[in-house]
Structure 1
Amino acid sequence: MNQHVIRPVRADEWEKVKELRLVALSDPTAHLAFLETAASAAEKPDGFWQDRARAAAEGRGVRQFVAEAADGRWDGSVTVFVEEAGSADFLEQTVARDQGHLVGVFVRPEQRGTGITDALFQAALEWSWAHAEPVLERVRLFVHEDNARAGAFYRRFGFEPSGLVIPKPGDPTSKELEYVFARPAD
């Protein structure tokens, strides 16, 4: 059983935000899961990480959740962005509905299979459904066509393929599959 506290990041935790992101980008499957490299992330100035942590802690349109072990180490993270209908998404496409978008899913390899990912997703979905304005109709994420382990987790958790397939940003020869989790009926 997992002995972690799942909680939102705090604005002053930028160094831990940076450290976990660099660990995630160094994972052997990072090329499938992320759109940046460890080298490019490591070159970003402290101000970037400070702004990122502050936005993820205090922003109305984004929240980052972490799995914190008893010793203070962060063993996993997920971030959810609010995409408002009519706004442009990360591909500069117009968003058709108010929705959440999960990104940055990572759990340290030695902690995978312990329930941390489930707990992080639960926290992200609870935050999404509690979001007052706009009311989010669904939460989506994208998974690389070759990332079978992640796709299996998303389906087990309750995400369903929407049928939308896009080229991976920066690599048009690879495909990203959209998965969605509809807002539960009240």
Structure 2
Amino acid sequence: MKSCSFRWRQQFRRAYPEEFLKKSDARGKGEYHIDFVPAPRITEDDKINDKKSLQRALDRRLYLILFGDSYGTRKGQDVWHFPEKVYKSEETLRKCTESALESVIGDLSHTYFVGNAPMGHIAMPPAEKNKDTPSFKRFFFKSQVIATNKVDIKSKDFVWVTKDELFEYFPERSEYLTKMIIS
């Protein structure tokens, strides 16, 4: 029985040339060896602290916040806020979120929504100065800008900020944002 399997293996065995077998021994020793130098993580936009650019803080996540009129504030009182829209007639909260983001950045072909459910919400009591607005809930969805370095933002003013910089714009919500945003 053993001799039969031995003959069968010998019959279909391949004989490789010596120079082919020696190629694997020479791996990493030839002229083709290239020294890889990674691109720097600190960009020109980091050096000048350009918060309107996506080409900064490349090792961190950036969050888009807008300066302008926000729901729950008095008319004409501009504040920093995330892209937002009042939920009225959309099928789902996700559709409402897509609509809100589309009104700010236009084309959504370079965005990816992480899931269909909000990542968090916060109950907003009526502002002391603005008793006309009833209490409401503000839902947060996570989305990512992918495959592009430039987005045309339609707003009075905007910034792309890291998590640490986010607390400078929302100091009263820092505890909540710390719990909601993991990294």
TM-score grouping bracket, smaller chain normalisation = under 0.3
When normalised by structure 2's length, the TM-score is: 0.24
Give the structure with the higher percent strand. Answer: 1
Higher relative contact order (CA 8 A, sep 6+): 2
When normalised by structure 1's length, the TM-score is: 0.24
